[in-house]
Structure 1
Amino acid sequence: MKKIRWKTVVVLLVAIFIIFQIAGSFFFYNLAIKRGPKDFLTGNADLKVSAETMDVFLNGDWLDWVDKQEFEEMHMTSRDGIELMGYYLPAKQPTNKLVILTHGYLGHAKQMGLYGQFYYEELGYNLFMPNARGHGKSGGDYYGFGWPDRLDLIDWTKLLSENMDPATEVVYHGLSMGAATVLMASGEKLPDQVKAVIADSPYQSVYQLFAYQLNRMFHLPAFPLLDNMNLLTNAKAGYSLKEADALSAVQRATIPILYIHGNADTFVPTDMTKELYEVTESEAELFLVDDANHGEAFVMDQKAYKRKVEDFLNAHLSTSNLSIDLFR
């Protein structure tokens, strides 16, 4: 009788464990990956920025600049059938320089106008800002965290290149999830026009990022919950949290990469970028900004940030500015 009871207890415990794992997988998939509001990030101490930064984000002159620009809306269907859109802005003067700016998690294309204003007004670049799948006016019912987005970025580049002279030079500049996107793309066969990558506040793999946040926000271990969520993500969104790995990608990179990160970042630890920098196969530079939290480096030390970006681009792009008028 006791033996039967013990068997019953064990079966019940196993059943409860399995139910918890399945329910937990769906809960965290819906929490992080399914498209929709993410209230759990509201008030997150790791995302707290300085009053100065918040003022720039909410009231900076870049917002008026974005509103005044006559962007051309562009549309593209992804390889897996998702309708994507982005904004193109030709430079004031014809140029062979184009920057593609990729935004962060839960953001949208025009938020990269903070950086776009610098490239457009001070560097004279053509500008393209795509909405990642699941964001802004792009379709998709999930967030790709950079992995499917890396192929979207390459396909956007190819679409843009149909109207480019072969001498056009393209720069990828991404922030947070957008930074992981450009790094993941760096490990692929890139269009010849892509000459440099700038990654601001990137993470390594999505699995590693989630493991860090699972422990920090929920005090839970990664295994086995995150591994089960990985299976669910593969089934519902078509990608694996483990294969979405910037660390592996940069070990295959062939173009120069500039890494930027805030030394006070606790949402995506600065050490992630340091390790990315250390294993990068191509020529790489690392620029750290003191007292800057996640995605805050540009505002916290704008002068040094701009100088570093300009010096990096001058070192790796041609000095000529050919009279190539894209899309005109």
Structure 2
Amino acid sequence: MNKRLKHWLIGLAIFVVVICIGIGAAGCYFYNMAVARGRKAFINNSTVIKKSDPLYHQKKWYQAAKKYTWRETSATKNLKLVASYVPASKQTNKTIVIAHGFGGSSSKMGEYAGLFHELGYNVLLPDDRGAGRSQGTYIGYGWPDRLDYLKWIRQVIHRNGPQSQIVMFGTSMGGATTMMVSGEKTPKQVKAYIEDCGYTSIYDEIKYQAMSMYHIPEYPLVPVVSGINYLNNGYTFKQASALKQVAKNHKPMLFIHGTSDTFVPTKMVYPLYRADKGPKRLVLVKGAKHAKSYSHAPGLYRSVVKAFLDRYFN
């Protein structure tokens, strides 16, 4: 091997190593941005409720409502999880289990708790692992959480009795969590699901956000971040698919999505709806942005949800 070729190969090797180190560093940075627990700069963390908010009364009600603290242990990693439970004004065996969104917690779901309380249901609002009062160092995007919600559901049945009737509801990441739960074997007490603006898979959502928010293409960054997540948390982003889970569901599901959603793009709801095997309905809220269908059209949202619940709760 002549010296020129040798130097060229050494230079190439150094270049490849530098590139790999750079990709790895970028992967770690975006893992911390997207997965690791912590405040997210692009998430509105304000707790102020303005009187101009169309859901002001529901949010204020939840702030003041007497909440009972329930506790659970995560299905993996032995984490301590916490939830808030608010019984209905009139005793009932019907409970809505509410899953919150990315960067949120049960405290951010007051408008939905208020809605279901107005309709006469008990509400249970868990904090996912890595959120609110629950333990955990990472956001599961619904995948490990689906198994935690099965434990919450069993706790509802244990506390409220075998005659319990349960519907799971969630928005955004909570919508995806709801769909991920639907693909598991659930107790007979689970009657139906309502998902609002959930994504097809973690991989699809992070790929979309990488381009939408940072103008970064899918390769090689998203697979690298997925690999880091696999090493840290035991699953890949493609494995964590709401699309594959709803294809195993045979219970009723209501799909809701805003037509102006650019965070979880509206186009994601169509393959999810087609894949679902149970009785189903798709409601598109014209002009609603991400997770804003209820505030954008409160009357429509309430009537659609009420009709669905009236149909599938005995």
Q: TM-score, normalised by structure 2?
A: 0.94
Aligned partner (choices 79, 82, 102) of residue 82 of structure 1:
79
Q: Evaluate the alpha carbon distance shift between residue 254 and residue 88 of structure 1 in structure 2; reply closer, same or farther with a 3 A threshold.
A: same
**Match runs of 1:23-42 below 5 Å:** 23-41=25-43
Partner-residue secondary structure (3-state), 1:127: strand
Q: Is the 8 A contact 2:200 2:241 kept in 1?
A: yes
Task: Read off the aligned partner of 2:31 and give its amino acid letter.
Answer: Y
Partner-residue secondary structure (3-state), 1:39: coil
Q: How many residues align?
A: 308
**What per-residue deviation string (whole Å, max 9, x for no partner) do you get for residues 108-140 of structure 1?**
10221201111112x110111111111110110
The residue aligned with 2:207 is 211
Partner-residue secondary structure (3-state), 1:2: helix
The residue aligned with 2:307 is 311
Partner-residue secondary structure (3-state), 2:204: helix
**What per-residue deviation string (whole Å, max 9, x for no partner) do you get for residues 211-235 of structure 1?**
1111112222212221121111012
Bigger drift between 147-156 and 308-317 goes to: 308-317
**Match runs of 1:1-328 below 5 Å:** 1-41=3-43, 60-80=56-76, 81-121=78-118, 123-318=119-314
Q: Evaluate the alpha carbon distance shift between residue 56 and residue 79 of structure 1 in structure 2; reply closer, same or farther with a 3 A threshold.
A: farther
Q: Is the 8 A contact 2:54 2:295 kept in 1?
A: no
Task: Read off the aligned partner of 2:290 and give its amino acid letter.
Answer: H
Task: Read off the aligned partner of 1:115 and give its amino acid letter.
Answer: Y
**What per-residue deviation string (whole Å, max 9, x for no partner) do you get for residues 191-230 of structure 1?**
1111010000100100010011111122222122211211
Aligned-pair identity in percent equals 35
**What per-residue deviation string (whole Å, max 9, x for no partner) do you get for residues 11-64 of structure 1?**
122112211221111111111100011125579xxxxxxxxx986669822232
Counterpart-to-counterpart distance in 1, 2:102 and 2:245: 20
- Higher relative contact order, chain-length normalized (CA < 8 Å, sep 6+): 1
**What per-residue deviation string (whole Å, max 9, x for no partner) do you get for residues 260-311 of structure 1?**
0100001110010121001111111100111110000001111011111111
Counterpart-to-counterpart distance in 1, 2:43 and 2:294: 22
Partner-residue secondary structure (3-state), 2:110: helix
Task: Read off the aligned partner of 1:178 and give its amino acid letter.
Answer: G
Counterpart-to-counterpart distance in 2, 1:100 and 1:242: 26
Structure 2 runs not aligned, ≥5 long: none
Q: Evaluate the alpha carbon distance shift between residue 72 and residue 290 of structure 1 in structure 2; reply closer, same or farther with a 3 A threshold.
A: same
Counterpart-to-counterpart distance in 1, 2:245 and 2:189: 19
Superposition CA RMSD, Å? 1.8
Counterpart-to-counterpart distance in 1, 2:248 and 2:202: 18
Counterpart-to-counterpart distance in 2, 1:311 and 1:59: 20
Counterpart-to-counterpart distance in 2, 1:305 and 1:288: 10
Counterpart-to-counterpart distance in 2, 1:42 and 1:90: 29
Task: Read off the aligned partner of 2:146 and give its amino acid letter.
Answer: R
Q: Is the 8 A contact 1:56 1:299 kept in 2?
A: no
Q: Evaluate the alpha carbon distance shift between residue 298 and residue 245 of structure 1 in structure 2; reply closer, same or farther with a 3 A threshold.
A: same
Counterpart-to-counterpart distance in 2, 1:189 and 1:242: 21
Bigger drift between 213-222 and 151-160 goes to: 213-222
